[in-house]
Chains A and B, each alone.
Chain A
Amino acid sequence: MLLEVRHIAASYDGVPALHDVSFTVDEGEVVTIIGSNGAGKTTTIRTISGQLRPDRGEILFRGTRIDGLPAHRIAEMGIAHVPEGRRLFNRLTVLQNLLVGSFTRRARAEEDAMLERVFTLFPRLKERANQRAGTLSGGEQQMLAIGRGLMLQPVILMLDEPSLGLAPMLVDEIFNTIRQIAREGMTILLVEQNVRESLELSDRAYVLQTGTTVAEGTGAELLESEMVRRAYLGL
């Protein structure tokens, strides 16, 4: 198992956000965590990438515990976290943002090849390489955020709400890109409010409710499930 999250609980300044979250991601899989606003999706990802320490539970990466390690050490292992709201370095250029993404020694070794791959995936980023990130459109910013995440040479790519705040046409474009990255063999952990689109492209998915994983299944199973249809698809 590549990533294993076992019964984690986490809180912000004593306010509990996660109660009991468990799930696994295997090599080559696309796994989605769906849930409504405030269910704890972002907190779950932040706990994995080391931005937040879990109060209880264990997180294992390739069988080794990583909970409690500082964020930069977790990134060095190849766990990429593309944060919600993109969080680009707006004062830096597009190219500089990508080069910050390949800061680790591990990523630097394959930097040129990955840069070319990112530019093939997002030709617009190549056109705008020397433009400041802050001047990009919303869709381009999301592309850059994903591209910067890829520059880490991830073993697993964690995407937090990549479709948030984008126009419907761009949402499709981003999901197509994720599909393509997955086809090239990347393991992906996706957190989304856009339930239908994300379940359609996932191998497996988990449902998160008030900080607890309450259901799991293949993407197709959850799309059919009564609970998901009622709670998240409005059917």
Chain B
Amino acid sequence: MDTTLLLQALTNGLLIGMVYALISVGLTLIFGLMEIVNFAHGEFLMLAMYAAFWASVLLNLDPMVSLPLTVGGLALLGLVTYRGIIAQILNAPMLAQIFATFGLGLFLRGLAQYLWSPNFRTIERPWLGQISGGTVNLGGVFLGVPQIAAAILAGVAFAALYLFISRTRIGLALQAVAEDKSTAELMGIDSHRMFALGWVLGGACVGVAGAVLASFYPITPTVGILFALIAYIVVALGGFGSVPGALVAGLLVGLVQEASPILFGVPTTYKYAVVFALYLVVVLIRPQGLFGRF
């Protein structure tokens, strides 16, 4: 086995895994808080990528420059989704809750197709792609600069979210609501505001992820499907509602996906199948996930 090739695969895996972790943490945060799965999460990501794309085409802003706008826009989308849809179905049967977000996802995907066509789009000459010709050579391991930047930014966003939840008073209130909403209310905590905050944070995370992916990943109305599927696996692997679990599982999925073609000789086209197989094994042995808290 070629060591350089394996190192290359492992590094690629860690880089994309960091982005997976960031996409997934928004999902796990919302679930941990209110036991609702956002089935439109992938479409949120797709909208974030289109936001970066249109900012580049219409405003001539590089995705890195428009990043704050993308994040703000997605945070707002999270808030509007909570107030407009989720708050109305909080006490509804689970099926209604599933179909509400699932329907929103379908609607957003259809809307994107209608407005922007199903064609693939790529951002012309992204700023990150021009730094040192777009790649760096680390002892024979070639890394894309946009991918490195994506992983770093995802890591920073993830760390910021973690610190916010674990170190601030509002974060403490979020944790209290996640554990026992009605008792948290007795402490003067407005659970609806905490729920809304969860959706804002979830939107912001996926906003960062979309903005960093836009520099190197083709953008289509269906781009969210694969990422969302992976995010569900990451959340289930890491344990529903666990923030550290999302990080570990995100990196693990990235590593498995990139290393399996080299380690097991799986054709690259089937690399996701290995991820799904890993998921099946874990849910059979440990249904609560790696960091599950059941």
Contacts and interface: CB of A to CB of B under 8 A. Distances in A.
Interface of A: 49-51, 70-72, 75-76, 80-81, 83, 87, 89-92, 96, 99-101, 103-104, 107-108, 148, 152
B176 interface: yes
Contacts of A100: 172-173, 176, 184, 187, 189
A87 B180 contact: yes
Interface in B187-204: 187-191
Contacts of A49: 186
Contact of B175 (A80, A81, A83, A92): A92
Contacts of B188: 72, 75-76, 103-104, 107, 152
Contacts of B184: 89, 100
Interface of B: 169, 172-173, 175-176, 179-180, 182-191, 293
Contacts of B182: 51, 71
Contacts of A108: 169
A33 to B, nearest CB: 18
B175 A75 contact: no
B190 A72 contact: yes
A219 B187 CA distance: 30
B187 A51 contact: no
A83 B186 contact: yes
Contacts of B190: 70, 72
Contacts of B189: 72, 100, 103
A93 to B, nearest CB: 10
A49 B172 CA distance: 22
B175 A101 contact: no
A151 B272 CA distance: 51
A151 to B, nearest CB: 8
B56 to A, nearest CB: 43
Given A96-B175, A104-B187, 11 more contacts: A49-B186, A71-B185, A75-B188, A76-B188, A89-B175, A89-B179, A89-B183, A92-B176, A99-B172, A100-B176, A103-B187
Interface centre among A70, A100, A107, A152 (most CB of B within 10 A): A100
Contacts of B179: 89-92
Interface centre among B184, B186, B189 (most CB of A within 10 A): B186
